[in-house]
Amino acid sequence: MKKILVTGGGGYIGSSVVDILIERGFHPVVFDTFFWGKEGIAFQDNKITVIEGDVRNSRDLIYALQETEGVIHLAGIVGAPACDKNPLAHYTTNVESTHTLVNCMTDPEIGLVRDLIFCSSCSVYGNVNGLFDKVDEGSQTMPLSSYADGKLRAESIIMEKAKQVPHFSPTILRLTTIFGWSLRPRLDLVTNLFVYKALKDKKITIHGDGMQYRSLIHVRDVARALVDALQAPRYVRDRQIFHVGEETNNVTVRDLAELVKKYLPETEIEYQQVEDSDRRDYRITCQKIKNRLNWQAEYSVEQGIQELIEKLQSGTIDLEGPQYRNNNFDYR
Ligand SMILES: NC(=O)c1ccc[n+]([C@@H]2O[C@H](COP(=O)([O-])OP(=O)(O)OC[C@H]3O[C@@H](n4cnc5c(N)ncnc54)[C@H](O)[C@@H]3O)[C@@H](O)[C@H]2O)c1
């Protein structure tokens, strides 16, 4: 059975990736510091190998890479607020460790692991509303945060290594903003946060007029895209960048709040006349992944909202638990 290393495999996206890899007959090697605990992989028993390790540590990585045939790299400090709060950990984890990983994967002494799927972000485009109607993979990048800047730097480290090592075959997936329920839930992402606030306070607060666009994608669609990319023939995806998103999920923050209200009608939507600290504004095209990988999203935002309401109302998790929010975490 093929072993696939999933860094960050205990996280929001990673736990769904692990699930899909098992379904497709792979043996996932879950490599993670487990900042959020092991809840996300709790029911996988002997179908996975679990390695508690740090991507900043080459010894941990070399050990984890033994006998693996591909890597899905998700480990990181996620989102602008968390990176701003932990600048050193952000740099060492999100940028510097990319060097460590690609060096370990391509070191002739260790044995070449050819296939890398790297999880980047559409945040790299920043605020391009008014400049481009829609952005594609070749559009100009204008990162507005250290998080987005770190993603671009990591991409470039990976692509540089591919120029030096001909058989190294990386693929970069730039994800749109994710929503939905996973085995390790997150309540700090805009859709999930709106549902949580609507349930808890019966109120959603929007900073500004809410006309800024977000491109959204369900977490299980993202996980499937990552595994599909890994399984795609190399000639289709080698050294390519793909957006992972769905154009019908390009919505304004205002529309998103209204969608939540449709299912929780008692919700009040409040507009605060303060500038939104998150100035991202872009609409993404997703034709390349459709054409080249024959990939299509399966979940709509409405389906994701309905599922979230059901899960959050079921009492399965402590809604106030700090482990469901990345933004305030103190990373080391
Ligand atoms: N969630 C989104 O909307 C989104 C959008 C675009 C890109 N991404 C990217 O997807 C990836 C996964 O994000 P997520 O939403 O699942 O976040 P997450 O925080 O749930 O998962 C990240 C995982 O990485 C682990 N980790 C952190 N530092 C580590 C280290 N030094 N060594 C080993 N493991 C470490 C954490 O314990 C966690 O389990 C990240 O690279 C993120 O930047 C996420």
Give the mean model confidence (pLDDT) for residues 181-192: 94
pLDDT for the residue numbered 213: 80
**Distance separating alpha carbons of residues 112 and 82, to the nearest angstrom:** 33
Q: What are phi and psi of 232, to 5 degrees?
A: -70, 150
**Distance separating alpha carbons of residues 320 and 81, to the nearest angstrom:** 19
pLDDT digits (tens, 9 = 90+) for 25-34: 999 999 999 9
Q: How far is CA 207 from CA 128, 195, 254, in A?
A: 19, 16, 10
pLDDT for the residue numbered 331: 73
Q: Whose CA is nearest to atom 23 of ligand 1?
A: 8
Residue 4 pLDDT > 90, yes or no? yes
Domain with CATH 3.90.25.10 in the chain: 179-215+247-283+298-324
Q: Whose CA is nearest to atom 28 of ligand 1?
A: 76
**Dist. CA 10 → ligand 1 center (Å):** 9
**Dist. CA 270 → ligand 1 center (Å):** 31
Give the mean model confidence (pLDDT) for residues 193-198: 96
- 228-266 burial code (b ≥16 CB/10 A, e <16): bbbebeeeebeebbbbbbbbebbbbbbebbebbbeebee
pLDDT digits (tens, 9 = 90+) for 253-312: 999 999 999 999 999 999 988 766 666 566 788 999 999 999 999 999 999 999 999 999
**Dist. CA 166 → ligand 1 center (Å):** 28
Cβ count near 173 (within 10 Å): 23
Q: Which fold has domain 179-215+247-283+298-324?
A: UDP-galactose 4-epimerase; domain 1 (3.90.25)
In the chain, the percentage of residues whose pLDDT exceeds 70 is: 95
Pocket test for ligand 1, best of 59, 74, 176, 226 (most atoms within 8 A of CB): 74
**Distance separating alpha carbons of residues 20 and 230, to the nearest angstrom:** 12
pLDDT for the residue numbered 277: 63
Cβ count near 269 (within 10 Å): 16
pLDDT for the residue numbered 30: 97
Nearest alpha-carbon partner for 322 in 193, 194, 188:
188
Confidence band, pLDDT 50/70/90 cuts, at residue 42: confident
All residues at 6 or more sequence positions from 126 whose CB lies less than 8 Å from its CB, including other chains: 141, 142, 143, 144, 148, 279, 280, 282
pLDDT for the residue numbered 129: 64
**Dist. CA 88 → ligand 1 center (Å):** 16
What percentage of the chain's residues is helix, strand, coil (to nearest 5)?
40, 20, 40
Residue 45 pLDDT > 90, yes or no? no
284 near 138, Cβ under 8 Å?
no
pLDDT for the residue numbered 321: 86
**Dist. CA 42 → ligand 1 center (Å):** 18
Pocket test for ligand 1, best of 13, 15, 222, 329 (most atoms within 8 A of CB): 13
Tokens standing for residue 107: 């070191």
284 near 176, Cβ under 8 Å?
yes
* Greater pLDDT, 5 or 324: 5
Q: Amino acid identity, residue 309?
A: I
**Dist. CA 253 → ligand 1 center (Å):** 23
**Dist. CA 74 → ligand 1 center (Å):** 5
**Distance separating alpha carbons of residues 262 and 51, to the nearest angstrom:** 43
Pairing of strands 213-218, 115-121: unpaired
pLDDT digits (tens, 9 = 90+) for 80-124: 889 999 999 999 999 999 999 999 999 988 778 999 999 999 999
222 near 8, Cβ under 8 Å?
no
Q: Whose CA is nearest to atom 2 of ligand 1?
A: 178
Q: Which residues pair with 272 in a beta bridge?
A: 207
Residue 128 pLDDT > 80, yes or no? no
Considering the entire predicted model, what is its pTM? 0.95
In the chain, the percentage of residues whose pLDDT exceeds 90 is: 75
Q: Whose CA is nearest to atom 7 of ligand 1?
A: 121
Q: Which CATH class is domain 3-177+216-244?
A: alpha beta
Domain with CATH 3.40.50.720 in the chain: 3-177+216-244
pLDDT digits (tens, 9 = 90+) for 230-241: 999 999 999 999
Give the mean model confidence (pLDDT) for residues 47-76: 96
Q: What is the mean pLDDT of the chain?
A: 92
- The set of protein residues with a Cβ atom below 6 angstroms from ligand 1 is 7-8, 10-14, 32-36, 54-56, 74-78, 93, 119, 121, 175, 177-178, 184, 186, 189, 326
**Dist. CA 269 → ligand 1 center (Å):** 30
**Distance separating alpha carbons of residues 119 and 94, to the nearest angstrom:** 11
- DSSP for 166-192, written as a single string: TT-EEEEEEE-EEES--SS--S-SHHH
